[in-house]
Structure 1
Amino acid sequence: MKKILSTAIFPLLITAPVMANAHHGPSYHTHHHYHNSNHNPYQGPRVGLGISYLSDRHIDTDTGFKLEGGYDFNRIVGFNLSYEESGYDYYRGSIDYSTVKLGTDLGYAFPLSPSVSLKPYVSLGFHRTTEDNRWCSSKNCYSTNYSDTDSYYGIGMRLTADMFYINVSNEVLNMDVGRYRHELDQIAVTFGLKFR
């Protein structure tokens, strides 16, 4: 998990100063640009696609996918809706997870240049996660299905440059599976478009 998170954050650390320097010149004035622009660079819808990964003390899924949409109201508050899938195979069986999340992110978008900003944030909301477990014995195959609606919380960072963005998130899903209570770590990296 640490390896994936490090890999996810690395592009942000490398890309942010490069994009900022590309727009930085003698006449660069962040305050002047944002107050005289015809649009608000911190407001508008966004949509992205990326990879997702799920783990806890007992499971460690393969890399799946994430589809997300959202809306930024200002520098601080954003709305998020996402769908994520991942799973793994084991001897004579497999487990698949699917998650729908609805929530908000709260942080602050720091301007790096007139068209580039970096927003570290905390996220919280609700999720609906389903676990599909399938396995076979020497004679028969079986399946079980568990679903739970509960809360989630986490942290993330979003780099926005013009109409493009990169989002890295690490969120904890509270989930009851049968008689057991789980806290699942869901790490995702998405690339998308920001509309204004």
Structure 2
Amino acid sequence: MKKLLATAALTMLTTAPMFASANQHHTHHHYHHGGPNAYQGPRVGLGISYLSDQYIDTDTGFKLEGGFDFNRIVGFNLSYEESGFDYYRGSVDYSTVKLGTDLGYAFPLSPSVSLKPYVSLGFHRTTEDDNWCSSKYCYSTNYSDTNTYYGIGMRLTADMFYINVSNEVMKLDVGPYRYEPNQIAVTVGLKL
């Protein structure tokens, strides 16, 4: 999965100049005219997500996100993410709702392409569902925690489309355990 994240980041960095040169004279869309609203407005996207640290390495799940960019620097984000993993006679599933902001700077690469590296911070509500079976019985437990998160990311916007890559660290207290897993995601979406 780390190879997938590296590939997505590399793709963003290598395709940004191509988008910039291909769209150098293409400015008909309402989003990028270079006017006061060029870096404002809502966005919505869908992608993949997973959790990873020294104790957890989930399978690839999904992410649904929405947001609003106020200007080149500040953005608002709301997302829902699910991932989990199976093991012998059991499974663990995570679901997370995040509400936060991203702070960075959207560098214009052309009239219709921008690249925004950013830091993110906010709050999350994460639920962990554990299910396992012995030779005779099956059991389940459920833990939830509301806490903070922080991270980094990069968003490439080309005309009305965007690609977002993020790595966010969540503070998580579930049951007797306290840890800080990385929630890594790659999303593709529309700038509305």
Does TM-score exceed 0.5, indicating one fold? Answer: yes
Match for residue 184 of structure 1 among 168, 181, 184: 181
Quote the residue 1:19 is aligned against.
19
Please give the alpha-carbon distance, in whole angstroms, between the structure 2 residues aligned to 1:8 and 1:173: 22
Is structure 2 residue 5 aligned with structure 1 residue 8?
Answer: no
The gaps in structure 2 that reach 5 residues or longer are 26-32
Q: For 1:177, give the aligned amino acid.
A: V
Please give the alpha-carbon distance, in whole angstroms, between the structure 2 residues aligned to 1:66 and 1:191: 10
Please list, as runs of the form range in 1=range in 2, the aligned pairs for 1:53-64 lying within 5 A after superposition: 53-64=50-61
Q: Percent identity?
A: 81
Q: For 2:100, give the aligned amino acid.
A: G
Quote the residue 1:126 is aligned against.
123
How large is the RMSD of aligned CA atoms in angstroms? 1.1
Please list, as runs of the form range in 1=range in 2, the aligned pairs for 1:168-179 lying within 5 A after superposition: 168-179=165-176
TM-score normalised to the size of structure 1?
A: 0.91
Secondary structure of the 2:180 match is strand
Runs of 4+ in 1 over 6 A off after TM superposition: none
Secondary structure of the 1:17 match is helix
Q: For 1:141, give the aligned amino acid.
A: C
Is contact 2:73–2:104 with CA below 8 Å preserved after alignment? yes
TM-score normalised to the size of structure 2?
A: 0.93
Please give the alpha-carbon distance, in whole angstroms, between the structure 2 residues aligned to 1:123 and 1:112: 22
Please list, as runs of the form range in 1=range in 2, the aligned pairs for 1:61-140 lying within 5 A after superposition: 61-140=58-137
Please give the alpha-carbon distance, in whole angstroms, between the structure 2 residues aligned to 1:72 and 1:24: 23
User: Number of aligned pairs?
Assistant: 185
Please give the alpha-carbon distance, in whole angstroms, between the structure 1 residues aligned to 2:160 and 2:4: 26
Is structure 2 residue 163 aligned with structure 1 residue 166?
Answer: yes
Please give the alpha-carbon distance, in whole angstroms, between the structure 1 residues aligned to 2:8 and 2:59: 16
Secondary structure of the 1:170 match is strand
